[in-house]
Amino acid sequence: MTDKEKLLSMGMKEEEISNWCSDLYVKKNEISEKFVSEYEFKMNVKTFVSQIDKKIWYEIPFAYTEYYYKKVVY
């Protein structure tokens, strides 16, 4: 199960998850806070304020594994 799939199964909405290349972006809320607190590489996770919605999001480096799948397949 990918990190995105885990977040969706925890109750995150599709619009609360995004990516840029291989980095996974997740809107900060109770669900994502729990995910990050249990994340193996949480020391690499940063927060930022989105220029689009002015909300706090997590940036999880290299966690959007679909990016790598697309690179290999296509």
**CA separation for the pair 70, 66 (Å, rounded):** 6
pTM, full prediction: 0.86
Q: Number of structural domains, the chain? A: 1
Residue 11 in any domain: the answer is: yes
Would you say residue 69 lies in a domain?
no
Instruction: Tell me if 72 is assigned to some domain.
Output: no
In a domain, 71, yes or no: no
- Flag whether 20 is in a domain: yes
Domain that holds residue 12: 3-63
Q: What is the pLDDT of residue 65?
A: 84
Task: Using the Cα atoms of residue 47, residue 12, residue 22 and residue 38 in order, give the sign of their dihedral.
Answer: positive
- Give the pLDDT band of residue 71 (cuts 50, 70, 90): low
Per-residue pLDDT at 72 exceeds 60: no
Q: From CA 73, how far away is CA 59, in angstroms rounded?
A: 25
Residue 40 lies in a domain: yes
* Residue of 45, 50, 48 lying closest to 7 (CA atoms): 45
Specify if 24 maps to a domain. yes
